[in-house]
């Protein structure tokens, strides 16, 4: 196996070198940033420490010790250009104890006109109001899974209409994405995603308020999952334009009459597809010593937030970013609660919408996942990621959690240190509760430093992490990465 892996590594390095040479020759006047990396990871158990693999865009294996080699290249927009284009590509080969995985984390092309951007391909991104570098992970889209291919229109910066005097700004996105081709009992599943966020206050004001929402939907599919969801025997919906419009506005195909004979139980009484997202609010205070950011993400799924049934659930955070260049740079405190889920009762007549079962779905059995990893917060774990249950399925068996989290970043001399730690109380899910509650403590420390390799700038990072508690056998592990920009 390792002989084949060695050949694969040589092939990947060769292709990357040729691509870099082509980029230098074809776009010599553009800012091109090719990088080569090498690293590896080891754990005392068969699992990777939680904070060494979570929110890594699918790059770090959940299980197995590994070596890895990777490369990336990109062309970004030129300064001062209203209309411009760029691209990016990155890949990583993980060589595990029993298998080798080649992961294409990014492969995209993009173009901009002012603050608006159109992109196509696989591109790293997260969504929601929170601290973007130290958060435990945005509830709905945290960067935990490999990015999925998508076509996106986005306003990356806040647009301030002149008639509002610059006091109110807006930004958002609109996406059509593609889940992996083959999922459990269903294929050709699509992603619809949109968001709209607003900001009250001019960019230079010391006090600003934020608010907005994001809407995610899994829809489509060509293989029949259960006949009870489509009594006519025709599989999932196939009128793609009508279905797409219904997904965008989140309406039922069956309409007010609830035509379950034609459209099945799910589409007759519910929305077409699996709809979920968050409503976010935030406040930023820019002071003499740094910025203080308060934020909350409220969870919606199956209508429970509309009726206030799950109002206690959500991600709450406080982030302080210092204006200093040394010492403590940033510290983040978060509290995630997903234990309510509307309660253990569902009664439409009384507007009680319980049993939300976050991230799971009856039509799409693998739920809110992509290529075997959760798309949202990593603190709600899949059956395959812990030893809490024996089945090892690809669904969320641990989605009622309460987590206390702290993250900190500091610069000491030429060394950048990052700490992440969490204490989680896990309750399982409704119908499969953990009694007593399962507790899990996890932490990770990341060290980074600029070094010189053969007279050239390079970056070395090393991480150590440990997990203690009921999710799995207690463990400690470490990894390292050496990144060398090719100039």
Res. 89 pLDDT band, cuts 50 70 90: very high
Asked whether the beta carbons of 73 and 487 are under 8 A apart, the reply is no
Higher per-residue pLDDT: 129 or 29: 129
Contacts of 14 (CB under 8 A, 6+ apart): none
As a whole number, mean pLDDT of residues 394-416 equals 96
Least confident range of 11-20, 156-165, 409-418, 465-474: 11-20
Query: Which one is the CATH code of 106-237+272-452: 2.40.160.130, 3.40.50.2000, 2.40.37.10, 1.10.760.10?
Result: 2.40.160.130
- In tens, the pLDDT along 234-271 reads 445 556 777 788 889 887 665 545 455 555 555 555 67
Res. 29 pLDDT band, cuts 50 70 90: low
- In tens, the pLDDT along 155-192 reads 989 999 888 888 999 999 999 999 998 787 788 899 99
Distance CA 333, CA 155 (A): 29
Q: State yes or no: pLDDT of 379 exceeds 70.
A: yes
* HSE-up of residue 129 (Cα within 13 Å, Cβ side): 31
Q: State yes or no: pLDDT of 225 exceeds 50.
A: no
As a whole number, mean pLDDT of residues 332-359 equals 83
Q: State yes or no: pLDDT of 196 exceeds 50.
A: yes
- Residue 234 DSSP class: -
Neighbours of 176 (CB within 10 A): 15
Q: State yes or no: pLDDT of 201 exceeds 50.
A: yes
Q: State yes or no: pLDDT of 65 exceeds 50.
A: yes
Asked whether the beta carbons of 115 and 155 are under 8 A apart, the reply is yes
Asked whether the beta carbons of 117 and 153 are under 8 A apart, the reply is yes
Q: Which among 213, 139, 217 is positioned nearest to 179, based on CA atoms?
A: 217
Residue 377 to residues 171, 176, 357, Cα–Cα distance (Å): 23, 21, 15
Distance CA 156, CA 327 (A): 31
Domain ranges of the chain: 106-237+272-452
Distance CA 298, CA 184 (A): 29
Quickly tell me which residue has 């590509």 as its tokens.
89
Residue 149 to residues 125, 179, 191, Cα–Cα distance (Å): 12, 8, 10
Neighbours of 59 (CB within 10 A): 17
- For residue 157, the model assigns a pLDDT of 92
- For residue 226, the model assigns a pLDDT of 40
Beta partners for 318?
Answer: 294, 333
Higher per-residue pLDDT: 233 or 91: 91
Instruction: Show the tokens assigned to 27.
Output: 């776009």
The per-residue pLDDT of the chain, averaged, comes to 87
Q: Which among 216, 229, 150, 153 is positioned nearest to 185, based on CA atoms?
A: 229
What is the value of pTM for the model shown?
A: 0.88
């Amino acid at each position: 196996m390792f002989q084949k892996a060695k050949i694969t590594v040589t092939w990947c390095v060769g292709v990357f070198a040729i691509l870099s040479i082509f980029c230098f020759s074809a776009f010599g006047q553009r800012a091109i940033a090719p990088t080569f990396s090498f690293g590896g990871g080891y754990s005392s158990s068969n699992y990777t420490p939680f904070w060494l693999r979570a929110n890594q865009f699918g790059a770090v294996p959940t299980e197995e010790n590994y070596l890895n080699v990777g490369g990336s290249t990109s062309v970004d927009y030129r300064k001062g250009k209203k209309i411009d284009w760029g691209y990016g590509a990155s890949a990583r080969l993980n060589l595990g104890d029993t298998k080798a995985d080649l992961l294409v984390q990014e492969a995209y092309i993009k173009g901009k006109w002012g603050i608006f951007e159109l992109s196509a391909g696989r591109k790293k991104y997260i969504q929601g109001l929170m601290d973007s570098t130290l958060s435990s992970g945005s509830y709905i889209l945290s960067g935990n899974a490999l990015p999925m291919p998508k076509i996106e229109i986005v306003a990356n910066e806040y647009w301030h209409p002149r008639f509002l005097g610059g006091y109110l700004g807006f930004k958002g996105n609109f996406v059509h994405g593609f889940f992996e081709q083959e999922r459990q009992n269903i294929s050709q599943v699509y992603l619809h995603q949109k968001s709209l966020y607003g900001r009250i206050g001019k960019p230079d004001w010391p006090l600003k308020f934020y608010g907005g929402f994001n809407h995610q939907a899994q829809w489509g599919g060509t293989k029949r999952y259960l006949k009870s969801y489509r009594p006519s025997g025709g599989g999932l919906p196939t009128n793609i334009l009508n279905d797409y419009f219904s997904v965008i506005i989140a309406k039922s195909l069956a309409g007010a009459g609830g035509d379950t004979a034609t459209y099945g139980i799910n589409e007759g009484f519910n929305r077409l597809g699996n709809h979920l997202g968050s409503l976010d609010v935030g406040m930023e205070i820019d002071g003499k010593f740094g910025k203080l950011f308060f934020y909350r993400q409220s969870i919606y799924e199956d209508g429970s937030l509309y009726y206030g049934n799950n109002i206690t659930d959500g991600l709450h955070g406080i982030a302080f970013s210092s204006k200093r260049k040394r010492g403590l740079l940033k510290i983040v405190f978060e509290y995630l609660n997903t234990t309510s889920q509307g309660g253990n009762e569902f009664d439409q007549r009384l507007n009680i919408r319980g049993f939300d079962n976050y991230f799971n779905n009856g039509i799409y059995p693998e739920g809110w996942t992509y290529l075997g990893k959760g798309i949202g917060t990593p603190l709600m774990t899949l059956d395959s990621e812990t030893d809490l249950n024996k089945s090892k399925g690809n669904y969320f068996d641990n989605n009622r959690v309460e987590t206390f989290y702290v993250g900190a970043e500091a610069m000491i001399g030429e060394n950048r240190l990052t700490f992440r730690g969490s204490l989680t109380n896990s309750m399982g899910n409704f119908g499969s509760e953990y009694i007593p509650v399962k507790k899990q403590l996890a932490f990770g420390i990341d060290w980074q430093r600029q070094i010189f390799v053969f007279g050239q700038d390079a970056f070395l990072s090393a991480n150590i992490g440990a997990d203690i508690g009921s999710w799995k056998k207690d463990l400690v592990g470490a990894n390292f990465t050496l990144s060398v920009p090719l100039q």
